[in-house]
Structure 1
């Protein structure tokens, strides 16, 4: 991420906007790619772009996007919105982990996994991405940052096979 993008990400975070507003603006950009073309078109006046921004985006984020437009950086909007989510998680000490399972764990089990990760990584909150994978045969794999905790039956069978081969 370039320094300009990082600066806009920090400003957006400090504005204290609701996450849902930022996600809505990002969704609009993703769903209607022509908007990026209009905002980036140098032949369209700034005033016309401002009117388009006022009609298209949520009221709470319009001024931010207009400032980005004034500085000619609308091509960075997608990257700014993506960087915002990363920066927000960092500032609020939130991490994302992936839980791959055969049988979905109970809420209590997921809470215990989240607590384990919070303690291990020193975070305040963990968001779990849940992925079902029957090929594990049983158990689960928990992935967080560069760590992987593999408690699947598939991995246990593989380790058992390796031990038997060494004998």
Structure 2
């Protein structure tokens, strides 16, 4: 993140404005769209971060890309960012807005890492188990496939981590052999 304080302040201002105008859900949808756009289009991200391209050109391109896809509040916000030469921070502002939105709605993000993609049934079972934990009534499951864990799963929610992966078990066994706990030590 280039400047988390700046991103957080702009995101908070946009969130407050959206709440005030009763368009929070619409602006949240806009932010999800823009986040997807910045992740998928490297050219768009380079446009935002380029110091060479003039503000008017950036505004025209951004307006062309977002025309009819984002609300008036979001359009005005992006134009303000461009006018204030803060468009390079826009991806961080988007991420901060989404995080603040989730916090305001009480939505927790739960990250599930597996070696292979899991079925919808397994996902639902995991969600049901996590929802039994106090404070996790509303949650969003973020899936990550990482073959390096070999098998099992790693579940991360807030500051809690459950590592039931085969890679972790192998590391634990390796550490036990390194410590030579199985060899009698003679003085």
- The answer, yes or no, to whether TM exceeds 0.5 is yes
What SS does the aligned partner of 2:78 have? helix
Aligned to 1:112: 125
Q: Of residues 145, 161, 172 in structure 2, which corresponds to 1:131?
A: 145
- Write out aligned runs for 1:29-40 (5 A): 30-32=42-44, 33-37=46-50
Number of residue pairs aligned between Structure 1 and Structure 2: 161
CA contact (8 A) 1:39 1:49 kept: no
Aligned to 2:113: 100
CA shift, 1:117, in A, is 2.8
Aligned to 2:33: 24
> What RMSD, in angstroms, separates the aligned Cα atoms of the two structures?
3.6
**Structure 1 unmatched runs, 5+:** none
CA contact (8 A) 1:101 1:134 kept: no
CA shift, 1:9, in A, is 0.6
CA distance in structure 1 between the aligned counterparts of 2:51 and 2:149, rounded to whole angstroms? 46
Deviations along 1:54-82, one digit per CA (max 9) or x if unpaired, are 33433423212122334443332222112
CA contact (8 A) 1:101 1:131 kept: yes
Structure 1 residues 37, 166: closer, same or farther in 2, change over 3 A?
closer
Aligned to 2:7: 5
**Structure 2 unmatched runs, 5+:** 19-23, 183-187
CA contact (8 A) 1:101 1:139 kept: yes
What SS does the aligned partner of 1:166 have? coil
Structure 1 residues 35, 75: closer, same or farther in 2, change over 3 A?
closer
